[in-house]
Chains A and B, each alone.
Chain A
């Protein structure tokens, strides 16, 4: 670190091209070194990037990993997904606070350390997990926390902590065509570039009408169109959850008019319980980048971005190394594999803690260095994406599948899976099972088979596709993973009969309230109301009235929220009320109305100040158990 912070800042701005789009990347780097975006730093960045200060502060205030007041020099964040909870993260958090003599959510007096929670960090198969200054540490136990506390007190830089603390496992349990792909770097790309179309075919005509890079000598024209045809023929649908047909998306982008086109890989895997993209990026980065390059070839893009969630900071250096190697192998860069005019390169952008950026238009805003607010649509990213240029945004797994299709062809791919769901799906299995980890199945696999394979016993419920998906009970375990039945972005979270499904739903409502971007009224206010109502029920003050209020909130969110976050925020609650009603009813007071105000709770501050917590310092409140 340069001694003078202003030099650090100007270097960071220059390294990122001193454009407005650099804002988030620059702020993230400043935060990493200075643990804060100070007013001075913000002003300097604003001046260097030619942005109003208010915008810089607005971005700094949007992302969870940035802070405008000093965070501790060691910022410890406990992943707070329901699976981390089930593994005891809250007790561990309390223990660490005690060891370090800090209060949760506050910075210690000497500015050394702060301890708090964060949304799911994508290590559910090896939780409880924490982030220390952005670096992931899985499998936290009392012993490991003891060591961590010592390292912090001894002020050892996180980069120098014992590597075994930071070792993240891949836990691949079942492989199919993707995880067993056997491709060497460049294989898929060579197939794509060598693919020909029949002379006189419509494909050839279309290719000549509009090449992937106008002005390429004929002969090279056919391959991109032919590959696009294979992607369309494969019936590949996006693996990020929504399931839009990939071939149509690429085609729309290719056909859009505009000077530049972009390929964006969405690696902002934020859905609680999902971690398959993490494993693909650590094990199969070449395949991911190859898929992006195939897309660039097909649509005619020169530039690509991998948008990596901040929680996967630890993958940044290895991924950059893969990119560098691919450049040296001429799989990226100018005249890729010797084809004049085929220029493409990939840059990695790191997020800074915002689930909503997984929504493709919010992700694009974030790539542009802004607050991650989903855009109004139309227009769609395929025509007006990054910098208002035609842009293809696909999930990590989608690009891997596209690379396989480029190699083996569309018919091959389409033959796997079900009619409406071609191919395989990676599942991130976690929760109550003997073998959590990554499982790859052909679409159409029933839930009960997955439960058997992962060693789940006595299963009460499975949350499919995380909180924004569905929660199913035992009588539905013959349902299948497929777009026709249970569509999923990948999370598969198992709960056995010892779990309280009310608490599961409550955890998810906290997640949504924390991650709402706050753009639209229904979601900004509604998710906070939902969270408060679930807390009211948890504290024993709930009534049937509150359940009706949740239904009312759901209606409002469904009808008017701006994006999927708001639309799905009430799902976990409604799903569990429907299937596990007793978990709610035993908490409800039978009265019609009960105020949320808690008389005894109001005295908590007085108890804290007087240091008294005996029975006489409490008003009696009966909590129905």
Chain B
């Protein structure tokens, strides 16, 4: 027997322990998300996956699926919210897409396209964030960090390393690395780490491979993120829903 909840009026089955976003993806329904990644514990910080559940707003990636829950996601209001959140992230950091190696592979950029972000919308902060090029194989450009904590989760949960951490708070919150010198080269980070793989934007960049795939032929150049997220989503047959 499988329980279901309603997503925009349609029944979505779920397994015990699944969150709303997990169950939706598994059922072939896309709820936009940014800090959620199927391989890691949900985090609930970007708020892009905000939905209305039984009349109350909640983050879909952390909200446990429950029988009878009525979830709204594709409404005018929630689309506008997500668009604004993406605009806020663009305004917070320094995102010069045309000069970024990640262009076309970037989740933030792809979400921007998908949600119809055509203008900045806000005054930009233009923060002064240093680039750390100390490591022979990896470049850290904090200007593009959106503080999603995916690298931290990957480093801790998969690599067992704790290479990354956050310091500061509020708008001064920033990515730091686990070294007295503060330089990536002085950590035990390695090119093969999961953490170097998960950054959804261009903050963690592998050196010397930037344009191996030319712009125009990259991931989100081919089809929108909403389609790709579904194509990648773990299906019930191969995955039991991940940890909540």
Contacts and interface: CB of A to CB of B under 8 A. Distances in A.
A511 to B, nearest CB: 11
A522 B167 contact: no
A525 B171 contact: yes
A68 B174 CA distance: 14
Contact of A61 (B48, B59, B167): B167
Contacts of B101: none
A158 interface: no
B170 A514 contact: yes
Interface string B84-95: 110011011000
Interface in B154-193: 162-173, 176-180
B45 A526 contact: no
Contact of B167 (A52, A57, A378, A532): A57
Given A559-B50, A559-B57, A58 B84 contact: no
Contacts of A68: 167
A560 B172 contact: no
B47 A61 contact: no
The residue among A61, A62, A378, A560 with the most chain B CB atoms within 10 A of its own CB is: A560
Contacts of B173: 518, 524
A54 B165 contact: yes
Interface string B57-89: 101001010000000000001000100110011
11 contacts: A43-B180, A60-B167, A61-B167, A518-B147, A518-B171, A520-B45, A525-B171, A556-B84, A556-B85, A560-B85, A562-B44
A515 interface: yes
A54 B177 contact: yes
A265 B135 CA distance: 46
Interface of B: 42, 44-48, 50, 57, 59, 62, 64, 77, 81, 84-85, 88-89, 91-92, 122-123, 125, 146-147, 162-173, 176-180
A552 B146 CA distance: 21
A366 interface: no
B89 A376 contact: no
A520 B167 contact: no
The residue in B42, B47, B125, B146 that gathers the most chain A C-beta atoms within 10 A of its C-beta is: B47
A314 B146 CA distance: 39
A596 B46 contact: no
B197 to A, nearest CB: 19
Contact of A513 (B84, B91, B168, B170): B170
A380 B71 CA distance: 22
Given A52-B178, A528-B125, A560 B47 contact: yes
A526 B179 CA distance: 31
B84 A52 contact: no
A354 interface: yes
B180 A53 contact: yes
A384 interface: no
Nearest to A379: B64
B85 A54 contact: no
Interface of A: 39-40, 42-43, 52-55, 57-58, 60-62, 68, 354, 371, 376, 378, 513-522, 524-529, 532, 549, 552, 555-556, 559-562, 596
Given A516-B169, A559-B50, 15 more contacts: A52-B162, A53-B178, A57-B167, A518-B147, A518-B169, A520-B44, A522-B47, A524-B92, A524-B147, A524-B173, A527-B170, A549-B122, A552-B84, A556-B84, A596-B123
B207 to A, nearest CB: 22
Given A39-B180, A559-B50, A528 B165 contact: no
A556 B62 CA distance: 19
B171 A52 contact: no
Nearest to A561: B47
A522 B48 CA distance: 10
A524 B171 contact: yes
B180 A354 contact: no
A57 B165 contact: yes
Contacts of A55: 162, 165
Contacts of A561: 47
Contacts of A62: 167-169
A197 B48 CA distance: 52
Contacts of A559: 50, 57, 77, 81
B33 to A, nearest CB: 12
A575 to B, nearest CB: 22
B170 A524 contact: yes
Nearest to A515: B170
Given A378-B64, A529-B122, A354 B169 contact: yes
